[in-house]
Amino acid sequence: MSKYQTWFLLVICNLFWAGNYVFGKYVVAEMSPLWITFSRWAVASVILLTIAHFHEKPDWRAVLKQWPALVVLGLLGFVGYNMVLYSALDYTSSTNAALVSALGPGMIAIFSLYMLKEKISKIQVSGIGVSLIGVLAVLTGGNLTRVFQTAYNRGDLLMLAAVLMWTLYSVMGKQLKEVPPITATAVSAFLSAIMMAPFAIVQGIDMGNISSLAIIGILYMIIFPSVGSFVFWNMSVREIGATQAGIFLNLIPVFTALISWILGEPVTASQFGGGLLVFIGVYLTTGMLERRLAAKRELENQKTSRNQNKA
């Protein structure tokens, strides 16, 4: 697969993920966050299990030995994160939700520092700070002087909680190296669906009041962000690595804002400005600037070495 094909898959992958925020905003008006999460992953997990079985060919006995860790990952990354995300969309815009979620890379870097003892540079610390300012700009409507005075939107605060859950899921998932990625996602999602089933049955759902738009939204969530995006993501990571692929995650808030704008949701100056700061922060946090500076130094060293050899 060429690098251009890989880039195309990553663009499509993040476009699908952006659609999850937009469709989630519509579906949550008719279905509870519990039923959205349950129905989405109950079906998607079966599809992913099938793909994992034939594509990754895991040792299922070895996978099942990791069930305690997979249950915890399921509770954090599938039950907790998705239910809080869809709850947030009941109170805030899909654009705000996507912009707040962009704080994730910085939080993952901080938690990795303390939980996994990974190193973090001064540039990355600066990136985290810039991202935080960007998110605060979104939360306060651009007036940072109101940070400790404003009554924050409940949905934005719920998104912060969702990002925290996703951060814990991501950091803990780094330690689960014995299970292939698609398999780990499929099993965690399947176990999550089993755990949610009793609560979903007790809560119940009136299918007669569910519109065709909500059903289309759920089908979209199952097919595209749950299955399509994850498969495309793993194909791309295998080709160019997680670091380069991670840069494309910055497209999610952009696509979310664009889709929302097309559908009639306004994009404010604070969202635009705050989003720009978040992108700059993510750029610094992911180490892209450091790698470019290192590559530049290496090139200069090579030129110096060649000049010395000529002399």
Q: For 254-305, how does the pLDDT look when each residue is reduced to its tens digit (9 = 90+)?
A: 788 888 888 888 877 877 887 788 778 767 766 655 666 666 677 766 666 6
Q: Identify the helix (H) or strand (E) that includes residue 250.
A: none
| CB of 225 closer than 8 Å to CB of 16 | yes
Question: Per-residue pLDDT averaged across 12-27, rounded?
Answer: 90
Domain region containing 143:
3-309
Distance CA 209, CA 227 (A): 27
What CA–CA distance (Å, rounded) separates 200 from 195?
Answer: 9
Going by the DSSP 8-state scheme, the letter that residue 297 receives in this structure is H
User: Residue type at 290?
Assistant: E
**Residue 233, token pair as written in the block:** 């993501």
Residue 32: its pLDDT value, please?
92
List, in order, residues 6 or more apart from 122 with CB less than 8 Å away.
none
pLDDT for 48: 94
Per residue in 228-244, pLDDT (tens digit) is: 988 888 788 777 766 56
User: Residue 219 pLDDT more than 90?
Assistant: yes
CA distances from 138 to 25, 64, 190, 218, 251 (A): 18, 43, 35, 28, 17
Amino acid letter at 72?
V
Smallest CA-to-CA distance from 98 within 125, 68, 66, 134 is with: 134
How big is the chain by its Cα radius of gyration, in Å?
21
What is the count of structural domains for the chain?
Answer: 1
Instruction: Give pLDDT, residue 186.
Output: 93
**Quick one: which of 240, 250, 253, 236 has its CA closest to 284?**
250
Close Cβ partners of 100 (under 8 Å, ≥ 6 residues apart)? 135, 138, 139, 156, 159, 160, 163
Q: Residues with Cβ < 8 Å from 28, sequence gap 6 or more?
A: 36, 86, 87, 89, 90
Q: In angstroms, rounded to a whole number, what is the distance separating the alpha carbons of residues 11 and 147?
A: 34
